Amino acid sequence: MQNTSTAISGTLDKDELARLILEASMSLLNCPGGFLSDYVWTTQSVRVAQALGLAAQLKGLSLPVRETLSWEVIDKRDSLILSWDEIRARVTSSALLEKLSPCQIVMVPMVSSSRVVGVLGLSREPASPAFTERDLSLLKTFASQAAVATRNAELYQDMRASESKYRTLVEQAGDAIFVITKRGVLDSANPMALKLLGYTEQEYVQLNLLDLVSLEHRERLTQELRLLVEQGNLLETVDLLHKDGRPIPVEINTVSLGNGLYQAIVRDITVRKRLEEDLAKQRDRAEEASRLKSEFLATISHELRTPLHAILSYADFGLERVSHADRERLKRYFFEIQDSGTVLLELINDLLDLSKIEAGKMSYRRSALTVGVVVDDACYRVTQLAEAKQISLHTSPIPKEWQVYGDYEMLLRVLINLLGNAIKFTPSGGRIDVFGELQEDGYLFAVRDSGQGIYAEELDIIFDKFVQSSLHVQKGSSGTGLGLSICRGIVEAYEGRIWAESAGPNLGSTFCFVLPALRAEAISSLAPQP
């Protein structure tokens, strides 16, 4: 008995165990056959897990519990001895009857954790000596030990199954998983962890999680590891360092495994962080756009109100004095109204043009333009204005073959605007030069004046809507601050660049723009200029 008990406790393989139990009990009771059935409570069925010798045919048979000879044993939890006549009288299932050879049987329940988990049966030929009470008690004792061994084997198998499930999960996880001690020493790492930081398994051994954290986050994680022991878990966002030194933003989620070890699930959040940053940028841009829009509306209202106010005031004056004021005075009021109306119209036209340019809806009638012709036309149109201020205007001839692909009126508008500004911001007696230069990426055109100049820090912002230089504001000159925005919009629509240069206050300014040159092979295929 002791020998057989020792034998069955030596294995944890369930099938092997079933065979050992059967062989041991058969030799214990000197029987030529035996079977071991599992009782499955959930399906109310019995399956013959192992059968040897006289009963070998029964192996694998599965029947509803009530159709088996074990039913009474399971139901009453009691052992049973049956002669061949009794067996035949009880069997209702033809499947069972077919597989039974004449025998007498003894069956005992196998009970584990107060549940019947199976039945152990032994058989002898009908003519052999009948089973005795002594046989029965021996078998009962043995069955209870066999039940414990079976239960252990089942638990072990379950444990193996869940361990392999866990291992598969860990090995195939999309996140890096480290097992660490409470001080952060690495115990093991899954394949994703090796991939994430570029180390081999051997290199990880003896490393500390803290060694892998960027310097700036190391102190914080050290504190957190201390808390980890108290609280059992930790959730932290830090930068880990790849073997090549590159920081990788990760989220570390640590839970206790219960044996002084902790499982740290490390998720790469590079993409999430980038998306968050993009979102933040978009939000900032939207906020900035909304702020600029409000600012723009406030400025427009102000700009529109000033000339409108003048128109209404002069109209009021006129109406009040229409009966007694002299004609000259009334005429002056009309001139004032006309001037302000013109300013208002120009402002509204500029605003409409600018909104079209910004929305990309401005229609350009493009053709091959000889730029020298446009430059001459622009200078001609401002000559009177310059003469009125005794400003000398000098133009260096632009080579005839310089051609660009663009809209004549729009290019003219840019040049007139720059020339108009140059005249406006240059005191009487000053000088303006217009010249061109061949550049690598196209033709450069420049309008240089000897006027009031611009502060270096304002050279860029004067191209923004409604922005006027501080020198301008000090002097209280007129203007809306839209001209340069329109120029920039037009030049950029030509895929060109525009900028301003100035050595400072009273040192003059130069406004330059570059337009891409039209290549010779393209010229012949385009319509001639108007």
Residues binding ligand ADP (CB under 6 A): 417, 421-422, 425, 449, 451-452, 454, 462, 468-469, 472, 479-484, 509
Q: Which residue, 418 or 515, is less far from ligand ADP as judged by CB?
A: 418
Residue 496: CB atoms within 10 Å: 21
Q: Which residue, 288 or 460, is less far from ligand ADP as judged by CB?
A: 460
DSSP string, 276-336: HHHHHHHHHHHHHHHHHHHHHHHHHHHHHHHHHHHHHHHHHHHHHHTTTS-HHHHHHHHHH
> What's the closest the beta carbon of residue 300 comes to ligand ADP, in angstroms?
14
> What's the closest the beta carbon of residue 382 comes to ligand ADP, in angstroms?
13
> What's the closest the beta carbon of residue 420 comes to ligand ADP, in angstroms?
8
Q: Which residue, 247 or 479, is less far from ligand ADP as judged by CB?
A: 479
Q: Which residue, 4 or 480, is less far from ligand ADP as judged by CB?
A: 480
> What's the closest the beta carbon of residue 212 comes to ligand ADP, in angstroms?
56
Instruction: Please give the structure tokens belonging to residue 379.
Output: 């200078």
In the sheet where 115-124 sits, what is the strand order? 62-64, 45-53, 33-40, 115-124, 104-112, 80-82
Q: Using alpha carbons, list the distances in angstroms from residue 265 to 97, 167, 214, 453.
A: 58, 14, 18, 63
Residue 471: CB atoms within 10 Å: 19
> What's the closest the beta carbon of residue 298 comes to ligand ADP, in angstroms?
17
Instruction: Give the DSSP letter of residue 461.
Output: G
> What's the closest the beta carbon of residue 304 comes to ligand ADP, in angstroms?
15
Radius of gyration over every alpha carbon of the chain, rounded to an integer in angstroms: 50
What is the identity of the amino acid at 241? L
Q: Which residue, 70 or 510, is less far from ligand ADP as judged by CB?
A: 510
> What's the closest the beta carbon of residue 465 comes to ligand ADP, in angstroms?
8
Instruction: Please give the structure tokens belonging to residue 34.
Output: 């035996």
DSSP string, 170-190: HHH-SSEEEEEETT-BEEEE-
Rounded CA separation 42/366 (Å) = 85
Q: Which residue, 118 or 481, is less far from ligand ADP as judged by CB?
A: 481
Q: Which residue, 53 or 479, is less far from ligand ADP as judged by CB?
A: 479
